[in-house]
Structure 1
Amino acid sequence: MTAIYISDVIHENVMRDIRKNALVHVGYGPSKVNYLDVCDTIDGVILRAEIFTRDMIEASPRLKIIARHGVGTDNVDLAAASENGVWVTSTPGSNSNAVAEHVFALLLSLTRQIVPAANRVLAGNWAEGRGDLVGFELSGRTLGIVGFGAIGKRVAAIAKSFGMRILASDPIAAAQDAAAAGADLVELDTLYDGADIITLHAPLLPSTRHMISARELGLMKKTAVVINTSRGGLIDEDALVQALLNGDIAGAAMDVLEAEGIDMKNPLAQNRIQLSEVPNLLVTPHIAGQTQEAFLEAGTKSWAEVQAVLAGDTPAFPLNAKDLRKLVA
């Protein structure tokens, strides 16, 4: 019987269909298994946040596909998958709207001081200190979007409804595409210098790791806000924390951090500081893509990719097709 490993929770409708067609092992909840304990039986993997290493791939003689439930691939060893004839796929566009909406949830929470305001009410302080809770409006502000793919374009569309000016920077974006979305395509330094809010939507690559560090933070306005819902490694968190504490920028909101998958009891442990010591930093636990709608689409697409590959077909959204074809040749 076909055996499928699912690393994290997926939509219940998709899970129901998978269980009708395969033996399922899960990496979460009360029935959680260690992948290496069942790896010799697994034909396909649906992968969310778990890090999938070379050792795991090479220990899986039956494995034919790792279907990412999402778009990022930094938690999969693509080279090892290709070398072992394993397809790696993604679900492009499945969570674009969810992530874009979360950008504005974070942004509005930060700029309107929603969390401290709500906490004061919970503590019984309705009016005390209310005069300190002065935010700023998005209308008329400049939003800088780093990475102008599906999510970046959706962020731009939402920003237009707030009456924002939009700058975008992406090495492969066409100026006419940016113009059609109401954005001015600019160089990164121009974006950092001119934007009131910077939001990141770039992949984590060797070339993009710490693309925002002390230098880039120094280019920003002291009133600037940085949002990251993409990958934690894009920002040098030590430099960010120092910039926030020193007042070099006004605030930051993060849904992703560098320490993910290591030790999240103290997310900023590498900076030797507690989150509570950085009041102008808002952090959510990598939930930007977690909506019912996004889960259903990502789950449906990833399961379809698994079924296609196990039936001997080519997947619709392969990430290592070129390498696999070289291997076959």
Structure 2
Amino acid sequence: MKVLIATEKPFAPSAVQGITKELTTAGHEVVLLEKYKEMTELLEAVKDADAMIVRSDKVTPEVLDAAKQLKIVVRAGAGYDSIDTAYAKEKNVIVENTPGQNSNAVAELVFGMLVYAVRNFYNGKAGTELMGKKLGILAFGNVGRNVARIAKGFGMEVYAYDAFCPVEAIEADGVHACKSQEELFQSSDIVSLHIPATPQTVKSINYQLVNMLPKKGILVNTARKEVINEEELLKLMEEREDLKFMTDIMPDADIEFKKFDGRYFSTPKKMGAQTAEANTNAGIAAAKQINAFFATGDTTFQVNK
């Protein structure tokens, strides 16, 4: 089978070597398309591909229509909103992700940004410590669990809310389980977001919810840009000079947020999974899933059932 690795933002060279070895050992042909600038390049490359590995690349109906032989697409990472999963299902194309492979990298980034925030962006003035602070985790999946683990090392008190995770599972990890998002925000000095972008969550992080954070509250977003109601958050930060917003997904209103000097930080591009380890883990996991699919029909990680 021909497997296309299509990455506008390429994997690390060592990751490409690992992915290629995994696939070729199983007898598959590997085609590499990196740093492509035009959609036409992807449309041409996918024409005779049986499988495809992508990162944040957009797999649109146009791409799926061009891919006459495509049977499976694997997103090397957890989030898959860049793939039209419904249309892929219509075309009988399996879509999978690789949950958990980037989790530690994202969780560590949360604390990199948090230390930067509580130390006042290293401006020379006295800041505060994370020890003893209450950290709220919104969504207790793979990343949320890693955030909780690291937070305990800092000596933080950890709270979590997840509509789809049993209270018993949260509390088994030594974390306080909240009954609602509202309770989580009210109980926490800091809230870290790990929810996917769905019709229910888009713009759900709004004025009313974030305003429940106590004085000197911090909001951290390493999830998806779309979950933030930017207009309402801007209004709230205008009114509350104590709030800080840290994110690794640059908002559409980045210029407007930048006026809150010392209270807002965004990385230039999404950085959560940008470590050599996560890069390699997710890519090799994607290759193994493709091998399993062609060998036995395994669809354990299918997201468009």
When normalised by structure 1's length, the TM-score is 0.83
Equivalent position to 2:297, from 298, 306, 313: 313
Q: Which of 266, 278, 283 lines up with 1:299 in the alignment?
A: 283
Q: Pick closer, same or farther for the CA change 1:168–1:224 going to 2, 3 Å.
A: same
Q: Which residue of structure 2 lines up, in the alignment, with residue 51 of structure 1?
A: 58
User: How far 1:6 sits from its partner (Å)?
Assistant: 1.7
Instruction: Quote the Cα distance in structure 2 between the aligned partners of 1:314 and 1:178.
Output: 30
Change (3 A) 1:289 1:60: same
Pair 237,31 (structure 1): closer, same or farther in 2 beyond 3 Å = closer
Following superposition, the deviation at residue 92 of structure 1 comes to 1.3
Residue 246 of structure 2: aligned partner:
253
2:155 equivalent among 135, 140, 163 = 163
Q: Look up the match of 2:132.
A: 140
Say if 1:223 and 1:250, in contact at 8 Å, map to a contact too.
yes
In structure 2, give the amino acid aligned to 1:196: D
Match for 1:282 among 243, 265, 279?
265
Q: How far 1:224 moved relative to its partner?
A: 0.4
Aligned to 1:70: 77
Q: Read off the aligned partner of 2:87 and give its amino acid letter.
A: A
Aligned to 1:4: 4
User: One-letter code of the match for 1:276?
Assistant: K
| Equivalent of residue 37 in structure 1, options 32, 35, 44 | 44
Tell me the matched-pair count: 295
- Alpha-carbon distance in structure 2 between the residues aligned to 1:73 and 1:60: 18
Q: Which amino acid aligns with 1:138?
A: L
Contact 1:25 1:32 in 2 (8 A): no
What does the per-residue CA deviation read over 1:229-249, in whole Å, with 9 as the maximum and x for residues that have no partner? 011111112222222233255
Cα deviations by residue, 1:85-112 (Å, 9 ceiling, x for unpaired) = 1111111110111111110001111111
CA distance in 1, matches of 2:285, 2:274: 15
Q: Distance in 2 between matches of 1:29 and 1:205?
A: 28
Contact 1:142 1:197 (8 Å CA) reproduced: yes
* 1:312 CA drift (Å): 5.8
1:97 maps to which of 88, 94, 104: 104
Looking at structure 2, the residues matched to 69 and 3 of structure 1 have their Cα atoms a distance apart, in angstroms, of 14
Distance in structure 2 (CA, Å) of the matches to 1:191 and 1:248: 21
The alignment's C-alpha RMSD in Å is 2.2
Describe how 1:172-187 pairs up with structure 2 within 5 A: 172-186=164-178, 187=180
Q: C-alpha separation between the residues in 2 aligned to 1:110 and 1:89?
A: 35
Extract unaligned runs of 5+ from structure 2. Answer: none
Identical columns (%): 29
- CA deviation map 1:152-189 (0-9, x unaligned): 11111111111111111101212222112221111111
Which one has a bigger Cα radius of gyration?
A: 1
Structure 2 Cα separation of the partners of residues 75 and 257 of structure 1: 16
- Preserved contact between residue 252 and residue 281 of structure 1 (Cα < 8 Å): yes
CA contact (8 A) 1:167 1:191 kept: yes
Offset at residue 215 of structure 1 (A):
1.2
The corresponding residue for 2:210 is 217
**SS of structure 2 residue aligned to 1:317:** coil
Moved over 4 A (4+): 29-33
